[in-house]
Structure 1
Amino acid sequence: MPIDPQLLKDLHKRRETALLGGGEEKMAKRKEKGLLPARERLLELFDEDTFQEFGMHAKHSCKSFGMEKKKMPGDGVVTGTGYVDGRPVAAYAHDFTVGGGALGRIHAKKVCDLIDYAIKAGIPVVGVNDSGGARIQEGVDSLSGYGEIFYRNVQCSGLIPQIAIIAGPCAGGAAYSPALMDFLIMTRKNANMFICGPQVIEAATGEKAELAQFATADAHASVSGNIHLIAEDDAHAIELAQTLLSYLPANNIDDAPHHLRETMSLDPIKRFNDLVPADPKSPFDVHEVIDVLADEETFFEIMPDFAKNLVTGFARIDGAVVGIVANQPNVKAGCLDIDASDKGARFVRVCNIYSIPIVTLVDVPGFFPGLEQERRGIIRHGAKMLFAYASATVPKITVIMRKAYGGAYLAMCSADLGADLVFAWPTAEIAVMGAEGAVNIVFGKELKASDNPAAKRAELIDSYRDEFASPYQAAANAFITDVIEPAQTRSCVSLGLHSLLSKRETRPPKKHGNIPL
């Protein structure tokens, strides 16, 4: 017996109502601002015809403050699964056209149900944030909804990748769900994120602050370090999310999505020999080294605008996915400061979670000196780098290009911190401190008594470099694997990387380490 046509008619009518969200007029106004509607954001994310929506017919159950009269299709959020480049992903998008995308009990349940599904399926979660915050009319139910989402964000952490896109307002408690996720992408226009707005700040502290100072993508990317990537618009944000997913496995048990080549490129690359200046004090751009080391146009930098003295990002080397951590001599001479330590430690831990090998490029004169750094806790923050590398069990390959001094040498993944392979260029200097500083401390009195202190200092500096800082001295003591010609860097890293992809390392059982937060 065929299905009753009236039932089909009713179904189609209900779907059409849901698809319209807050109505055609509100949809049009959003598009005028360059904003995609919630459902279109997900359709852009997923491969064509793969989006399977969850909870299209859900609606709020609040009957106070006149809410019983309001129609809110989908309760202000669109959720579902689909495929991104042929791989399954779960995603949700707040619908600002429906009640400002504010969160209520059913709204939160839809998001929680989707995350629970992602956990069971072992697939990534992408969340598009564009919401007016908690639905005041639902009171504590809204707060409880946020709490349940936060709880699931934490359950997902280290289990499946989580990517947040901030594409509209994200204020108050709503900001903490993105903050608990692995990566945050924020659009430069139409988006802001903060805990307390300008009016609240002024009322509480007397300070006058504009949103541009603390709530925009530029502020979060360069000052607070709360976000990882800036997008120009919705479409660009979705593109960045898709690129991120291409470097990440579906979950913590899967291997990274390597696309290994049949043959490795093992020929020497002479350009490496010319990239780094002979003078250890001369700056250079480490991006040039990364571009030659990685497969062409595969380096995807993470947090490019924050703590620029350390460069982090994903790349491929002969098709193998790697995370790259590199000192940037062009900025603060490549020193590790508080922000760089936080940035580096976080990135290393993400790589370790998702079985992504780490390649570390070293040219570090030490931790950044200064009263402010000391008072703000450089010891605690710098220790995060030590902790992150020492606790990482993924393949770790280190290349020492020039300076590697003191505690910063250790913090940039020395053999003592668990590096599987450590290569050094002939230009490398590995020591407690730089030659000039060491000579001044050890031979200060002798230099003052010398007839020609300048000549004597130069002699002692050369002697110190030869006897105490030479890469061959470190190699003689088995602290490095080999001293190599820079031109051999890619072949050495690629060979080592491919041999280490089968690495399995276990640690004593425990709940978790106590990282110095």
Structure 2
Amino acid sequence: MADEPRGTAERIDDLERRRAEAVSEADEAAAAKQHPRGKHTARERIRLLVDEGSFVEVGEFALRRGASFGAEGTPPHGDGVVTGYATVDGRRVCLFSHDFTTFGGSMGEVFGEKVLRIMDMAMKAGCPVIGINDSGGARIQEGVVSLAYYAELSRRNSKASGVVPQISVIMGPCAGGAVYTPALTDFTVMVDRTSRMFVTGPDVVRSVTGESVSAEELGGAEVNGSVSGNAHYVASDEADAFDWVRALLTFLPPNNLTAPPECPAAETAVPATDLDAVVPDSPNRSYDMRRVLAAVLDEGELLEVHSAFAPNILCGFGRLGGHSVGVVANQPLWQSGIIDIDASEKAARFVRFCDAFNIPLLTFADVPGYLPGREQEQRGVIRRGAKLIYAYSEATVPKITVVTRKAYGGGYAVMGSKHLGADVNLAWPTAEIAVMGAEGAVELLHRDELSEAAANGVRDTVRAKLVAEYRATMTTPYVAAERGYVDSVIRPSRTRERLVEALRMLEAKREESPPKKHSTMPL
């Protein structure tokens, strides 16, 4: 480089000086503010997530335009957000990371332009986009401009929905307009004790309603993860949050035009023969559906989504013979696996995501039906419960269902039944498929006979006989198999084998929807 023209060398030196000012000095100041709070800086968070040395920053020299209302002085480079692209386990992603130490991570004009640009890049490149959120919301100093960019970002989220996977990681406060963009993404991750997400903070709630509530009670990670269902995963710390995101990405395709990634097939976590004894002899005893999944999925691995929300239904990603699959399963340990409003909406959203990104669906049914009661009816179980019916009906990916035990009433119909378009339906010999359970049916159908038996002191004997007859003639899976509603009744220990065969057979499935502008799913 000795004979290099002096002008070029000076320009290169100027570049390095500018980069140092834009990155190094800002990072040092940010670390001094964030580390005492147990939080990482914007760039440290990116380094925790992506492959070492893979991050390429875009827009590091961007500067805020204009100054007013306390935003005077030399504007910081980047304007409060770090944007760029990188790889995670060798797969390309686009991402942005809020810098809370710059204007509280609030969105202004340049901030908004940078985020929109990286989202547009993600859609053009066909790769997932990850937003690391730590923001005070709209930048008050820039007025309506900041609001405009939140609306623009929401429009981008909507445009990208079903095109590329969108993941939001909430690392700090997320309030006001800032909460709606994570709500529009596919998955939201929060961190215990440091994340907050609410439309209006405690002070505003107190001034408007008089209600005194803490930030944690109003919008802490636990509340969003288990009560409102806004968070799909609650991490113990920031490193755990990024570990979950990396695990999630291994199951997802980069976009809606590609197939999910494949891995070498692996053995299950427990022997298949365990399934022959997993369902208790007594219909009133519960069992853990995770035991079934451990004997079916590769390595018994299920990456659960919304594990703390509506635990009566399990949703998550696994692999079957090396292929990514989405799993929806009733959980008998919680309310006998009954479907309520929260379970229906949780599963419906998951089914629609899998359908959008070509991920086959495995359904395991052990369900007594929809939860009855005044509260459920008044909260709209009809329209909100219909979401799961709609999601299964709309899905065109391979759909395979296994009925392990009870499948009663509307619960049978909605949990991946043949009538909603399932491709392969299997049942165990322990399955009971009927309008209702034998005990309830006998009480309704033989009311007079039971009353007479009670008068003769033999009610229990007569009732037991009638229940046994009803089970033998009405709820047995062979009745459904005779009509073609069940393709085969199988030995439980053969479940994985049959599922792998079915998935292989359906690998090239094609199913076209009729032409239309868009659907109008239940609200």
- Residue segments in structure 2 that go unaligned for 5+ positions in a row: none
For 2:205 and 2:120, locate their aligned partners in 1 and report how far apart those are by CA, in whole Å.
36
1:300 aligns with 2:316: no
Letter in 2 for 1:513: S
Report the Cα offset of residue 98 of structure 1: 1.4
> Which sits farther off after the overlay, 325-334 or 504-513?
504-513
Deviation per CA, 1:380-412, whole angstroms, max 9, x where unpaired?
Answer: 111111000010000111000000000111110
Report the Cα offset of residue 274 of structure 1: 1.2
Letter in 1 for 2:368: P
Q: Which residue, out of 467, 470, 491, partners 2:473? A: 467
> Is the CA contact 1:60–1:106 (under 8 Å) kept in the aligned structure 2?
yes
1:453 aligns with 2:468: no
Report the Cα offset of residue 72 of structure 1: 1.6
> Which sits farther off after the overlay, 234-243 or 345-354?
234-243
Report the Cα offset of residue 260 of structure 1: 4.8
From the superposition, tell whether residues 74 and 273 of structure 1 become closer, same or farther in structure 2 (CA, over 3 Å). Answer: same
Residue 283 of structure 2: aligned partner: 280
1:325 aligns with 2:328: yes
1:337 aligns with 2:343: no
Residue 258 of structure 2: aligned partner: 254
Q: Which residue, out of 126, 145, 150, partners 2:130? A: 126
Residue 170 of structure 1: aligned partner: 174
1:412 aligns with 2:415: yes
- 3-state DSSP of counterpart to 2:405: strand
Q: Which residue, out of 291, 301, 311, partners 2:314? A: 311
1:481 aligns with 2:487: yes
> Which sits farther off after the overlay, 432-441 or 35-44?
35-44
For 2:294 and 2:315, locate their aligned partners in 1 and report how far apart those are by CA, in whole Å.
13
Report the Cα offset of residue 64 of structure 1: 2.2
Residue 431 of structure 2: aligned partner: 428
Q: Which residue, out of 148, 155, 175, partners 2:152? A: 148
Deviation per CA, 1:21-52, whole angstroms, max 9, x where unpaired?
Answer: 64634422312322111012112222122111
Q: Which residue, out of 292, 315, 322, partners 1:289? A: 292
For 2:149 and 2:271, locate their aligned partners in 1 and report how far apart those are by CA, in whole Å.
57
Letter in 1 for 2:60: M
> Which sits farther off after the overlay, 273-282 or 153-162?
273-282
> Is the CA contact 1:62–1:137 (under 8 Å) kept in the aligned structure 2?
no
Percent identity over the alignment is: 47
1:346 aligns with 2:349: yes
For 2:367 and 2:183, locate their aligned partners in 1 and report how far apart those are by CA, in whole Å.
30
Residue 507 of structure 1: aligned partner: 513
1:47 aligns with 2:59: no
Deviation per CA, 1:256-278, whole angstroms, max 9, x where unpaired?
Answer: 112254x999x982110111112
1:112 aligns with 2:108: no
The runs of at least 4 aligned residues of structure 1 exceeding 6 Å deviation read none
Deviation per CA, 1:146-190, whole angstroms, max 9, x where unpaired?
Answer: 111111000000100000000011111101110000000001132
Residue 190 of structure 2: aligned partner: 186
> Is the CA contact 1:22–1:98 (under 8 Å) kept in the aligned structure 2?
no
From the superposition, tell whether residues 375 and 66 of structure 1 become closer, same or farther in structure 2 (CA, over 3 Å). Answer: closer
> Which sits farther off after the overlay, 279-288 or 151-160?
279-288
Equivalent residue pairs, number: 515
For 1:420 and 1:318, locate their aligned partners in 2 and report how far apart those are by CA, in whole Å.
18
> Is the CA contact 2:271–2:295 (under 8 Å) kept in the aligned structure 1?
no
- Residue segments in structure 1 that go unaligned for 5+ positions in a row: none
> Is the CA contact 2:272–2:296 (under 8 Å) kept in the aligned structure 1?
no
Q: Which residue, out of 429, 432, 442, partners 1:439? A: 442
Residue 370 of structure 2: aligned partner: 367
Residue 31 of structure 2: aligned partner: 27
Residue 392 of structure 1: aligned partner: 395
